[in-house]
Amino acid sequence: MVGLSRVDSHLPSNPQALSELPITDPAPADDAEPKPRRARKPVGWSMIFIAVLVAVCAARVWRRDGIDGVLNILTHDLWLFGEIVPRVLAGCLLGGFIAEILPHDKVSRSLGPKSGLKGLLIGTAFGAILPGGPFTAYPVAAALLTVGADFGATIAMVVSWTLIGYGRAVAWELPILGTEFTLWRIVISLPIPVLAGWLGRVVFVRMYPKGEPSE
Amino acid sequence: MTASALIIDITLWGSVAILGLMAWRRGRVVLVSSVREGSIDFINIVPRIALGVIGSGYIAAVIPPDVITGWLGPDSGWFGVLMAVIAGAATPGGPVVGFSIGAVALKVGGGPPQVIAYVVAWALFAFQRMILWEIPFMPARFVWFRAAVSLPFPFLAAAIAMVIGKP
């Protein structure tokens, strides 16, 4: 009897909760689901190292060229920064879209740790055709990592972008180093993205046998 | 603004528009949340990029290109390759600087395998690109891991170049 009355006392609240569930729950459920969220990077040792390096270099410029030298470089770089900022925004948006649009399971199947040679080849092809510059390549690579690509496939993509991506080759290398050298260099570089991705996987499995440690 | 910069911006924002449209077709929620994620990333990354861009001018000013070209001198053989790899990693500045140094090295008698090693090393782990671009965007662990894994490949490229020769 006691048990029943307890059930009874719970009953009135239950239908209400149930009726509310479908309306209010989607957002919390979305968060509860193991959905990859990009970990916001804390200010790590890398950034501190860079800041120190920059400070040391700026001090050397100041001692060598005086305050004018320091200001000259500063204005030039601020100008450059102004040019780059909108592109960085575009790159971040691309990364955001890719992280949302690409289905997690599909990406981890085709670019994940078990994707084999095919995953490395897909990463390589993707890096080679990716348009834009570093402001697209790195946010997109970071997004791929978030949605399930492993280090190997992402390494293949990044390395392929720097080594056989057409953007840099056409815009800079051809005019400066000439067609013959550029083509020769690219042919020699062709296997490197896949090899680097493969080496990355081999080392990764040895370093983190239980998967990547969470930060 | 040069033509190539214009093309870059058009393809870039064109891709943003296309992907944005795809996100929007999945529903407003998807669009809003991806734009929010992208914007938060942007806000997080801008100070890092600022440090990198503004700092890189000072780093470049301290490492003059002729020092790098000196390292790429006529040393042939594997010692020359090693110097080329170090030079590639140490080269500051954008694509113009790296490729120009390679071109100068070819002209002053640098061996093609060494110049290949230089260009490949510079493409793989030029420290300034890593500082300026890769570290702000990617997990630091990934960046160091990728750079470490990339180490053998300039040497491999030089070896291939030595074997197949220059056409």
In a domain, A108, yes or no: yes
Residues B20 and B71 in one domain: no
Residues A53 and A110 in one domain: no
Find out whether B139 and A143 touch, Cβ atoms under 8 Å.
Answer: no
Find out whether B106 and B115 touch, Cβ atoms under 8 Å.
Answer: yes
Find out whether A153 and A119 touch, Cβ atoms under 8 Å.
Answer: yes
Find out whether B162 and A167 touch, Cβ atoms under 8 Å.
Answer: no
In a domain, B57, yes or no: no
Find out whether B164 and B110 touch, Cβ atoms under 8 Å.
Answer: no
Residues A92 and A162 in one domain: no
Residues B125 and B76 in one domain: yes
A5-19, A149-163, B25-39, B142-156: lowest mean pLDDT where?
A: A5-19
Q: In the listed set A101, A132, A151, which residue is the last one of a domain according to the structure?
A: A101
Cα–Cα distance, B151 to A161 (Å, whole number): 17
Taking contacts as CB-CB distances below 8 angstroms, the residues of chain B near A145 are 138-139, 142
Of B12, B45, B146, the CB nearest to A158: B146
Residues B84 and B123 in one domain: yes
Find out whether A83 and B6 touch, Cβ atoms under 8 Å.
Answer: no
Closest CA to A128 of A62, A48, A189, A70: A189
Q: Say whether A171 and B4 touch across the interface (CB within 8 A).
A: yes
In a domain, B51, yes or no: no
Residues A89 and A171 in one domain: no
Residue B129 pLDDT: 87
**What is the widest separation between alpha-carbon atoms in chain A?**
92
Cα–Cα distance, A210 to A186 (Å, whole number): 36
Cα–Cα distance, B15 to A93 (Å, whole number): 10
How many structural domains is chain B composed of? 2
pTM of the complete model: 0.81
In a domain, A60, yes or no: yes
Residues A109 and A188 in one domain: yes
Q: Say whether A132 and B8 touch across the interface (CB within 8 A).
A: yes
How many structural domains is chain A composed of? 2
Q: Say whether B150 and A87 touch across the interface (CB within 8 A).
A: no
Using pLDDT thresholds of 50, 70 and 90, give the confidence band for residue A32. very low
More confident residue, B72 or B25: B25
Q: Which of B39, B44, B59, B101 best probes binding to A when mutated, by most A CB atoms within 10 angstroms?
A: B59
Q: Say whether B16 and A93 touch across the interface (CB within 8 A).
A: yes
Residue in this structure with the two tokens 């993205």, named with its chain if needed: A193
Q: Say whether A173 and B149 touch across the interface (CB within 8 A).
A: no
Helix axes A151-164, A134-146, angle to 10 degrees: 170
More confident residue, B63 or B143: B143
Tokens of B112: 């093609």
Nearby residues of B8 by Cβ (< 8 Å), 6 or more positions away? A87, A131, A132, A133, A167
Residues B99 and B41 in one domain: no
Residues B4 and B73 in one domain: no
Quote the domain boundaries for residue B96: 63-164
Cα–Cα distance, A95 to B37 (Å, whole number): 9
Taking contacts as CB-CB distances below 8 angstroms, the residues of chain A near B99 are 172-173, 176-177
In total, the C-beta contacts within 8 angstroms joining chain A to chain B are 256
Residues A97 and A116 in one domain: no
Indicate the SS3 state at residue B108.
coil
Using pLDDT thresholds of 50, 70 and 90, give the confidence band for residue A26. very low
Neighbours of B81 (CB within 10 A): 25
Cα–Cα distance, B113 to B130 (Å, whole number): 24
Residues B31 and B78 in one domain: no
Among chain A residues, the shortest Cα distance to B25 is held by A101
In a domain, B55, yes or no: no
Taking contacts as CB-CB distances below 8 angstroms, the residues of chain B near A132 are 8, 11-12, 15
- Is pLDDT above 70 for A24? no
Residues B75 and B128 in one domain: yes
In a domain, B16, yes or no: yes
Chain segment A191-204, per-residue pLDDT in tens: 999 999 999 999 99
Residues A111 and A197 in one domain: yes
Tokens of B94: 């954008």
Q: Say whether B49 and A196 touch across the interface (CB within 8 A).
A: no
Residues B74 and B112 in one domain: yes
Cα–Cα distance, B137 to A141 (Å, whole number): 9
Quote the domain boundaries for residue A46: 41-101
Taking contacts as CB-CB distances below 8 angstroms, the residues of chain B near A180 are 167
Tokens of A92: 């971040």
Residues A78 and A113 in one domain: no
Of A132, A138, A212, the CB nearest to B12: A132
Residues A80 and A108 in one domain: no
Residues A62 and A145 in one domain: no
In a domain, B99, yes or no: yes
Tokens of B9: 């911006």
In a domain, B20, yes or no: yes
